[in-house]
Structure formats: C-alpha cells, structure tokens
Structure 1
C-alpha cells in the first residue's frame, strides 16, 4: 500500500510487481492458502524435512553457549538441559531480550480480528476472499486494509466469516480500528443483542467476536540493531505490508550469509530425478535387504546353539530393579 510520501520509483516498482503477478493463477495477483498463512511455513518445513532437515520437537532453547574468544555461539542448551552444538543460530525478534537491543524506535501495527455472521459484500457476490482498502475516516488517520475470508478458506466455521483489519498505528488498536468496525459492522453493546427491525444496522453484518491488539513492526531493523554474537541471525516478525516480500528478502539474506555458495530456495526437483550422494540411499530396515536378513538368520541360529550369558546391550537404559535372589 502506497502513501503520499512514497517516492515515484518505489511506486513504479510496486506497480510492476503487481502486473507481473497477474495471470499466473487466474485473473487475480492475490493468493491465500487454505487453513491460513501458517500453511506457508509448514510447507517449507515439510520440504526441508524431505531433503534432510532435522527437527528437535519440544526442545525449546533455554540459553546459548558463546565462545568469548570468537564471540560466536557454539551450542544451545534446551529446557531439558540437553546441549546441542550449532554453527549458526537463527531467532525471531520477539525472543531477544531488551538488554540485547540497541536504542531503536519501533513502528507499531494496529490489528483487529473479527468473526461475523455474513459478508460485507452484496449477497449475490461469489467472492470467497475479499480484499478492501478503506480510506481514512479522518485526515490524520491511516488507511485500513481489510481481508475477509469465508468458511471455504478453512479458516472459520460454516456460516461465519473471518475478518482481518490492519493499519499503521497512530494510537491503540481499538482507537485506530473501532471507528471502522462501527462503520462496516453491527456491534452489539449487549451479548446476543439483535439489531432492531428496519434499522440501518440490520443491513450490516453482525460481529460475533472481536479482538484488538498492537504488534511491533521490526521489518526496518538490521543486524546492527542488536548486541549479539556474530553468528546469531535475527528474523523480524510480520510487517504491515500485504505480501511476504520483506520476509522473503530477509530469509534470502540470512541464507546467503550462512551458505554463500548455495542457491536460495531452488525449485523442488521431480522425486524421480533425485540422485543421492555417497553409496546410495540407506535401506529403511533389515526387511528391505536380503543379505541383512540372511546374516540375521545365521546369527540367530548361532545364538540358539551358543546362548550368551552376557546381558543385552541397550541404548542408555539400565535395569536398576533389585534382584529377588540375594
């Protein structure tokens, strides 16, 4: 979204980007994933896992182990006390302590999330996802972006609509967005209250639930804004723009800093064209390799003839139950 302060060059680049997106998937340049935007990072995680990414689930990072000589993180300690070595550490801005930040002025984003009983568009509209830019109600107020999603987007229950309102903060989120909500929707002062018959409010969608909140916009910050080891890379949270351009550019920058000789996010190959390095893909288990099965059968037969008196070896497990024979 451009403003009156936007430079001509920036406006032309944004227009060019918009036009390049036309005709790729239908007549609109806008795409919204089913089940919400959380599907985008989830898709990345799945692709990463397919090509060897390792995930330590339920191992939240408690602290960092820093080498004072090189001022680099060499390991992390999780909440279970386990030490995990690492060459780089990537973290989102909200996890950084205040004492590790430089004196920086943050921008704020005002947001409102609503659940309504019907769409703000006419009833004969067949739109499933609507994007509306609402002009400022006052000269000093910012423009508001509204995204409305129906139940076919898998983001809300059937018969309801999910509405997101976003703008740059000039006050609290409720101060910035409540006038817009009152203009477009019927907001009951008493839970369950219905608008009176024949009133103007009857034509407006009713708000079933609403939440206002402010978010910190750190998209304009860089690595010099933090007092951190050199191999700690900070990613910003969501910004106020419509797309994900800022996040993608930051991800590419961090990627090239860590792996300067690798290609960033190449197209996924056809599974049939994947060539494994080394001796080839490992078998999924002994049942997939006849030679292993044969060796196991021979070894089992040998154990039956000469049973061992030594206890079975297990991975870091010891039986501490006292014996009944003493």
Structure 2
C-alpha cells in the first residue's frame, strides 16, 4: 500500500520488522486486530535481516553516513498531549564495523583494502578473487544474527502450530563439533554415534550413555549447587567427556550454574532425533526468512505493510499515561490502541535507560574449505572454549552451499560471543588466526583460507528494555533485539507476553486454515465436500503435525 493511502486508525501499530515484532504482528492479525506494520528500512527483518554480499557492502557504506533529523510536528498535537520523539537510525546499536578481504586481484586493490593481492583457491581448485565473490554475490545470504532452531524449541513449535512453516524450508544441522588441543573433532550425539565413535573407549562410552540417560530423567535439582564444570568432575567422567558435555552438548561456560547446565543438556537431548542426528535446524536462505514468514501471515490476514516509512514521534496523553497516536515522517497522524516498537526507537535523551548495557561480538567469514573436511553438504556448529585468560568462548556455525547462503566452492562461517575486549575484531581475531589461514598467517597449512571477513558489535537483546517496561506508557511495548543465545526462546516468549497484554482473551497464533479448507461466499456450507470434520482434525496424530515442517535431507 502506498504511504499516502494509509488509514488513520488501527488497533495495533508496530515499528520494526524484527522477529519479535513480526510474530506479534502475525498473532494480532490472525485474531482480527487491525495491524499497521512500519519499518524505516528498505528491507524486512531489521537486525535479524539477511543480505546478499553486494547488498551487505551497500548496507555497510550507507551506515557510515546515517541521517536522523528531528522534525517539529507540534501543530498536530491536541490538548493534553506531548510528543515522545523516535529515532529512525540504528547506527548506535551496530558499531565497530570492520571489513577485510584477502582474496582479490590487483584491480580490486583500491576497493578491498591495503593487503597485497593473493588469489586463493576455492573448493574444487578454482582460483577465487574479490571480483569472483562480487560476481557470485547474489548467491550469498549473510545473516546479521547467527542462531539455530532447536527441533523442539519454541520457534519450531510456533511455526508448526501456526502453519507459518509452509512459507519456508529447513535443513538439519548435520554435525556438532568440538575444538580441543588444536584439533576439530565430531561429537557423538545419538546413541548410535556414541558407540560408533573411535575416539572414545568402551568405558567412556558407557559412562557417557549412563550420564545422558540420567540427565533426561526429571528430578529435583534444588540441592545442586556450584558450577557445572565442578559437578562434571565429581561424576568422574574424565577430561574428554567433560569437554564434550560442557562445550558441545550443554554449550555453556565452565562457570555456568549446575542447574542451568543440566537444563541445557536436557533440552539438547530432547531435541535429538526429531529431524536428524543433531537437535538443530537451519532455515534455507538464512534466518532473515523467518521474520518475513510471519510478516506474510500478517499480510494474509489483513495487516498493512509499509517499508521506507520513517516515524517521528508518539503522542502521549499525560493524564492517562497512554499514547494516543503516532506521527510519521510525512506528518500523518495515525491513531492506535497499542504501539509495539523495536529496541532503539527511543532517543537516549528521552528514555536514557532503555538501552542495552551489553554487546555481542559478531564475525562473518567466507572461506574456501570446511574446518572439518567431509561431505560438502555438511552444516556444523562448534563451541570454541576460551583460548586465553580474558578471551571469551566463541560459538561458530559453518554453513555449506546446500543452505543457499553461500556460493558453490565456498563456506559461510558465523562467529558469535559476548563482547569482552571492546570490539568484535579484538574478541574474535585470535580464534580466526588459530583456525584459519589469513594474509598474516606465516605458514599456509591445511586450514581453510579466509577469502573475506566482516566484524561488528551489536547490542545484546538479553540485556534489553524489559526491565524498564514500568517507565513506558501503558500501551507501548518495546521488543528486545537479538541476544547471544543459540536459540530463539527469549524472542518468542517476549512476543507471546506482548500479545497477551494486547488481546489477553485470544489464542496466540492459532493455526491458519489451509487454502483448500477455506469456504468462499459461493460455496455451499451444507455440501459435504466443503465441510471439515473438526473432530478428526483435532485428533490428528502429532507425528503428522510435525511433518508440516519441511526439512531437506
């Protein structure tokens, strides 16, 4: 819909198309709310977006000159109202952007940086330069956020329940790896993998299976005190098994409380075997597809979408402590009962504490080989423990061309950790130099070569604005951005909590009808061919419901 045609009144207005906002929009539209969903950007998914390589380079250039002018719309205010200015620039939430290119020809020198040109060889023996990467740029889908979907996590459950899963395809993560003593190894996850492993002795295999079986059982853990690493040592599992359990199954740090670590282990085990040998799924074409799927559902049920649409301010009724309307960048007053905003919309001077106090360090690498050579369709996740005192543990997700996120002959590697040293480059560079070849590498061994890399810091949504909700107007809700966790539990939980505040008496994202089940005005509802047996539908086996998630082999 053109911006000039926007209606002047809605039930819910949302600003930002991130995952949480998109889920709220879909849930509200599904139960009949009039929804307006705006975004100042030219693309969907906000901080959860995916870019082609060419689009990412353009996005980086545009961020260097952000514009965010404050306009005076005081003439549109009514008696008793005051404006709450909103920000359209997200430059503060993503910072310390650094780009390096190690695969380029002499003609690319001016564009790519100061390193000497060194053509590198991609998988299959083809020489790869920066010009080749740009030519294949549309084959890349680079996520700003690196996450995986637990097979029985809240996001997968919601995708199946709401039938939104029909809008996307998924691929199972094929390997869980570990990094120890300078070597990358595959971690046995399932019972079959454990007993097929040649890296574990028979005694270790039995100890591991016995411990995992005990973790699956529900039992009281209130008496468990101390850290998980200490608890594992008390179980006399040995250094090898302790490393596997801590870093590759529980995927936590050594100082994680025992109860939290065992809960993570139990969640990992419950998700095993649903769609493959690991507990994880990844959406084909990248994580940016998921918010767009929920936006599509919202639009199907009448939601109105408008990108490239700046917002100026909310109008606050000081007497009722409620916002009555929003004024967009064109000066149109749009009334609404509820307002849902992405984190970072408020100016710091307006609400100074509504900002994250922690940040995430992110790195994206394009490489020419896998960190553990094997089948070219492998998708891997590995947690790299702290290499030195003071350095953070780093989570690495390696995507192959089968995920449609990188060009043939290359791999896309995502690095994520909590920021400790100030910039993503400082946090992640030690891991990159340890596991990959770069221009600074003294000896070129069998490690994968880095063709191109991109570092940046972003606000940690896990330290977002939820605790400041009491300082907001009663009908304004702020959605936190992405956090550093591997799954999506927090975003989905927050989306449901916001939905409950808006329409407390409605079901959260009920199933959308299949197209063949919709009765149109010309159809005869008495015709048996047009009548659904709801009882049979409700009693559909869970096994059939899970098949609604399309997972590629």
- Tell me, in whole angstroms, the C-alpha distance in 2 between the residues paired with 1:182 and 1:204: 10
CA contact (8 A) 2:343 2:464 kept: no
Residue 12 of structure 1 deviates from its aligned partner by 2.6
CA–CA separation in structure 1 for the residues paired with 2:322 and 2:393? 44
Tell me the SS of whatever aligns to 1:55: strand
1:222 CA displacement: 4.4
Aligned equivalent of 2:367, options 107, 111, 116 = 116
Q: Within the alignment, does 1:252 sit opposite 2:502 as a pair?
A: no
1:211 corresponds to: 454
Query: Which residue pairs with 2:259 in the alignment?
Result: 9
- Relative distance call for 1:270 and 1:95 in structure 2 (3 A) is same
The aligned residue for residue 439 of structure 2 is 188
Which residue does the alignment assign to 2:192?
Answer: none
Distance 1:249 1:149 in 2: 27
CA distance in 1, matches of 2:496, 2:278: 26
Task: Give how far 1:29 is off.
Answer: 1.2
Cα deviation digits, residues 279-299 of structure 1 (max 9, x gap): x59xxxxxxxxxxxxxxxxxx
* Distance in 1, Cα, partners of 2:307 & 2:356: 34
C-alpha displacement of 1:223: 3.6
CA distance in 2 between counterparts of 1:113 and 1:40 reads 20
User: Please, what is the CA RMSD of the aligned residues?
Assistant: 2.2
For residues 42-57 of structure 1, the aligned pairs below 5 Å read 42-57=292-307
Residues 1-326 of structure 1: matches in 2 within 5 Å?
1-99=251-349, 100-102=351-353, 106-122=357-373, 124-171=374-421, 172-189=423-440, 200-225=443-468, 227-274=471-518
Instruction: Assess, with a 3 A threshold, how the Cα gap between structure 1 residues 269 and 16 changes in structure 2: closer, same or farther.
Output: farther
Structure having the higher Rg: 1
1:60 is displaced (CA, Å) by 2.4
C-alpha offsets along residues 106-151 of structure 1, whole Å, 9 cap, x if unaligned? Answer: 11211111111221112x3344311111121113322110011122
Q: Which has the higher helix share?
A: 2
Instruction: Classify 1:77/1:10 alpha carbon distance in 2 versus 1 (closer, same or farther; 3 Å).
Output: same
Matched residues in 2 for 1:149 and 1:46: separation? 26
| Preserved contact between residue 114 and residue 164 of structure 1 (Cα < 8 Å) | yes
Moved more, 33-42 or 92-101: 92-101
Q: Compute the displacement of 1:15 (Å).
A: 2.1
**SS of 1:32's equivalent?**
strand
Superposed CA offset, 1:179-221 (max 9, x none): 10001111115xxxxx8xxx85231211111122111113234
CA distance 1:73–1:105, change in 2 (3 Å)? closer
Going from structure 1 to structure 2, the CA distance change for 1:35 and 1:105 (only over 3 Å counts) comes to closer
TM-score with structure 2 setting the length: 0.46
Q: Judging changes above 3 Å, is the alpha-carbon distance between structure 1 residues 274 and 259 closer, same or farther for their aligned structure 2 residues? A: farther
Mapped contact 1:109–1:214 kept (Cα < 8 A): yes
CA gap 1:149/1:203 in 2 versus in 1, 3 angstroms? same
Unaligned runs of 5+ in 2: 1-250, 523-553
CA gap of 1:43–1:105, structure 2 versus 1, over 3 A, is closer
Contact 1:106 1:218 in 2 (8 A): no
**Secondary structure class of the residue paired with 2:412:** strand
For residues 57 and 140 of structure 1, do their structure 2 counterparts lie closer, same or farther at Cα, with a shift above 3 Å needed? closer
Contact 1:120 1:205 in 2 (8 A): yes
- CA separation in 2, counterparts of 1:7 and 1:275? 54
Number of residue pairs aligned between Structure 1 and Structure 2:
269
Structure 1 unpaired stretches of 5+: 190-194, 282-326
**Alignment partners' CA distance in 2, 1:269 and 1:77:** 35
Structure with more contact order per residue of length (Cα contacts < 8 Å, sep ≥ 6): 2
d(CA) in 2 for partners of 1:73, 1:275: 39
Deviations 1:211-236 (A, max 9, x none): 22111113234444264322111111
Q: Is contact 1:104–1:225 with CA below 8 Å preserved after alignment?
A: no
CA deviations over 1:7-34 (Å, ceiling 9, x no partner): 2322232222222222222222111111
